[in-house]
Structure 1
Amino acid sequence: MRLFFGIPVCEEVRAFYLETLKPELEEKFIAKFVETENLHITMLFLGEVQKVDFLNEVKENLKAISHFQVTVGGYGYFGRPPRVLFMDVIRGIDDLTVVHDAICRSMRIRDTRFAPHVTLARIKKSPRDIDAVLELMPHKEFSWFVPSVVLYESKLTSKGPIYTVFEEIPVKAL
């Protein structure tokens, strides 16, 4: 199984992406855009996993973490040339890092490359001045409380990945 831990975005982010942002981006980028239902903040990508024998320890470590608020807004990209277009996490980074570190500790993994974001597209060809283009995109901030962390299974298909919830792990309510 191909697995990763993530946090789903709120419905307002999905609606904004589908109705406003994606149509704008499609005019300016040659890219493979993320399906609306697949939008999430990746906490840790595991890749191919034979046994899911780590789940109890992850649950134990996450139940000590209280639910928290995350805010996304603004855009960025990874790579030179740009390869991944994303919506940036602008508040809640410290809380997301605590969750990421708890998952890593549970799995005895050391991952220091954590940069929370919501992937919007895999860029095939970007505009010449990508920074100026992103500055002109519709900007809006979205905040929501994170009630749980999801372990997703990712099945790769010719039409793109299909994510299904393998396990939802609640964090402690206030």
Structure 2
Amino acid sequence: MSHRLFIGIRPPAHVREALIDTMEALEGARWQDDEQLHLTTRFVGEVEREAANDLAAALASIALPSFELELEGVSHFERKGMPTAIWARVRPAPELERLRAKIERACDLARLGGETRRFTPHITIARLNSHTGPIVDWLTRNSDLRATWRVDGFSLFESHLLASGAQYEVAMHYPLQDTALSTTF
């Protein structure tokens, strides 16, 4: 049996509420549900049970202190000149890059191959298609989106593709250490 996996960070309720507050006034957008809001740190894809278990074990060895992330505005992805998604920009942070490097190492240990796509830290707000209305007004109206949160862990998610869209389930959660608790003397 194969599992469709990705590794990500789930923002806390106040950040998800700020994102949900942007979800209006864009005809034809397929807004993400609260349960779908996350920052993907590494897409894994379809893997067999043994590789999934190897990955879960390798991720458990990651030890880092918790850190802060910040949303700063919105943007979009496009393909062939057509917008495909709108998203909240996550400000790049050295701590996020350290976490990503350790996650990449865990994927290597699980023999899953290296990531080939450029990382753009973001949280997808909506999927778009050719029936979506113009996005310029929405982007302008939400350009001042800001929220800050402390990342206290990351998760291995399983993605279930349903007729109604993707449904995400946390397979494993990996807490990060509170810096106050990780002090050594």
TM-score (norm 1): 0.86
Q: Distance in 2 between matches of 1:10 and 1:136?
A: 23
Q: Distance in 2 between matches of 1:72 and 1:21?
A: 13
Q: Distance in 2 between matches of 1:93 and 1:81?
A: 29
SS in 2 for 1:21: coil
Q: Distance in 1 between matches of 2:103 and 2:27?
A: 34
SS in 2 for 1:78: strand
Contact 1:14 1:37 in 2 (8 A): no
State the shift of 1:101 in Å. 1.4
Write out the 4+ residue segments of structure 1 that deviate beyond 4 Å after TM superposition. none
What amino acid sits opposite 1:28 in the alignment?
Answer: L
What amino acid sits opposite 2:6 in the alignment?
Answer: F
Q: Report the RMSD for the aligned CA atoms in angstroms.
A: 1.8
2:174 to 165, 169, 172: 169
Q: Distance in 1 between matches of 2:149 and 2:17?
A: 14
Unaligned runs of at least 5 residues, structure 1: none
The answer for the alignment partner of 2:19 in structure 1 is: 17
1:34 aligns with 2:32: yes
The answer for the alignment partner of 2:9 in structure 1 is: 7
Q: Distance in 2 between matches of 1:106 and 1:138?
A: 35
Q: Distance in 1 between matches of 2:138 and 2:29?
A: 15
Q: Distance in 1 between matches of 2:18 and 2:102?
A: 31
Specify whether residues 133 and 33 from structure 1 end up closer, same or farther in structure 2 by C-alpha distance, changes over 3 A only.
Answer: closer
Instruction: Give me the identity figure in percent.
Output: 27
Question: Computing the radius of gyration over CA atoms, which structure comes out larger, 1 or 2?
Answer: 2
Q: Distance in 1 between matches of 2:142 and 2:60?
A: 39
Q: Distance in 1 between matches of 2:93 and 2:28?
A: 30
Q: Distance in 1 between matches of 2:114 and 2:150?
A: 27
TM-score (norm 2): 0.82
Specify whether residues 16 and 7 from structure 1 end up closer, same or farther in structure 2 by C-alpha distance, changes over 3 A only.
Answer: same
In proportion to residue count, which structure has more helix?
A: 1
What amino acid sits opposite 1:75 in the alignment?
Answer: V
